């Protein structure tokens, strides 16, 4: 069975409609969408191996079915620089989460100041629609988003990127390199493709996608499955 099917079947068999951040990224990675390197950790005994595998600086965040809006719940610690900071963050985050199946993600820290977002929503009339816009706090503040119905051609994706008011964010500006537009376009095309191929996926949210130099990398991801099938 392929990765996508396996991840979806496992969630459904457990009665879940939300994929964890880690599962969401595994699925996206299988389609070639760039996501953070990360390890899921359930016990302090496994923490040190994960720290060595990822390398400092890194990010530790809570991972549980209830952990949507993680930063609001104090479940995201960025720029962790040594073992001591990591152990403190691990203990604090674990103690803040409820429920049996709690874990943290030890994740590569993506350095970059520009945060974008992309996603897919399934419209009852039009089917899968792809969105693109500003990420992080600006998603809600500015609502600067472009939509297209899938399937997308390269030209549609390019138009979406140019359509947002803040489109200069992908340009060479203030000493930052221009974004790799081919990679960005590829992410948008793939989101449409995933929507068309997987009727069960209702929603995909990549927020933020951070530009690391010119390279877009999804540092947070959420996939929601439909409850009608
Ligand atoms: P949530 O959206 O559930 O609150 P996120 O995983 O999006 O949690 O993290 C909140 C913020 O923390 C992001 O918008 C981003 O600015 C920062 N962040 C999260 N993960 C990373 C990472 N791996 N590298 C760099 N910054 C990160
Ligand atoms: Mg987020």
CATH number given to 37-108: 3.30.1490.20
pLDDT value of residue 213: 97
pLDDT value of residue 165: 96
* Residues with a CB atom less than 6 Å from ligand 1: 36, 59, 61, 69-71, 76, 78, 107-110, 115, 136, 208, 210, 219-220
Q: Which ligand is nearest to the CA of 71?
A: 1
Instruction: Spell out the residues 6+ positions from residue 217 whose beta carbon is closer than 8 angstroms to its own.
Output: 34, 35, 36, 110, 209, 210
Name which residue sits closest to atom 22 of ligand 1, judged by CA. Answer: 109
pLDDT value of residue 163: 97
Name which residue sits closest to atom 14 of ligand 1, judged by CA. Answer: 136
Q: What is the pTM of this model?
A: 0.96
What are the start and end residues of each CATH 3.30.1490.20 domain in the chain?
A: 37-108
Residue numbers of the chain with a pLDDT score lower than 50? none
pLDDT value of residue 42: 94
| Nearest by Cα to 182 from 207, 204, 155 | 155
CATH architecture of the domain formed by 9-17+112-225: 2-Layer Sandwich (3.30)
Query: Could you tell me the distance, in angstroms and rounded to a whole number, from the CA of residue 113 to the centre of ligand 1?
Result: 12
Query: Could you tell me the distance, in angstroms and rounded to a whole number, from the CA of residue 221 to the centre of ligand 2?
Result: 7
For a ligand 1 pocket test, name from 59, 68, 224 the mutation site with the most ligand atoms within 8 angstroms of its C-beta.
Answer: 59
Query: Could you tell me the distance, in angstroms and rounded to a whole number, from the CA of residue 122 to the centre of ligand 1?
Result: 25
Name which residue sits closest to atom 21 of ligand 1, judged by CA. Answer: 219
Ligand 1 atom at minimal distance to the Cα of residue 108: 23
Which tens digit of pLDDT belongs to each residue from 35-62? 999 999 999 999 999 999 999 999 999 9
pLDDT value of residue 45: 93
Q: Are 107 and 38 in contact (CB under 8 A)?
A: yes
What are the start and end residues of each CATH 3.30.470.20 domain in the chain?
A: 9-17+112-225
pLDDT value of residue 65: 67
């Amino acid at each position: 069975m392929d990765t996508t099917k396996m991840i979806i079947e496992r969630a459904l068999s457990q009665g879940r409609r939300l994929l964890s951040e880690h599962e969401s990224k595994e699925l996206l990675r299988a389609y070639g969408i760039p996501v953070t390197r990360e390890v899921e950790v359930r016990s302090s005994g496994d923490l040190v191996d994960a720290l060595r595998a990822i390398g400092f600086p890194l990010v530790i965040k809570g991972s549980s079915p209830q952990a949507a809006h993680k930063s609001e719940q104090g479940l995201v610690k960025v720029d962790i620089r040594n073992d001591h900071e990591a152990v403190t963050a691990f203990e604090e985050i674990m103690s803040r989460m409820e429920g049996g199946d709690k874990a943290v993600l030890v994740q590569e820290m993506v350095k970059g100041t520009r945060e974008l977002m992309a996603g897919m929503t399934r419209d009852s009339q039009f089917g899968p629609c792809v969105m693109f816009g500003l990420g992080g706090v600006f998603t809600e503040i500015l609502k600067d988003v472009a939509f297209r119905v899938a399937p997308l051609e390269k030209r549609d994706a390019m138009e979406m990127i140019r359509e947002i008011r803040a489109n200069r964010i992908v340009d060479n500006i203030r000493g930052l390199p221009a974004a790799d537009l081919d990679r960005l376009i590829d992410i948008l095309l793939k989101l449409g493709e995933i929507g068309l191929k997987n009727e069960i996926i209702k929603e995909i949210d990549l927020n933020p996608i951070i530009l690391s130099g010119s390279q877009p990398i999804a540092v947070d991801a959420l996939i929601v499955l439909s409850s009608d099938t």
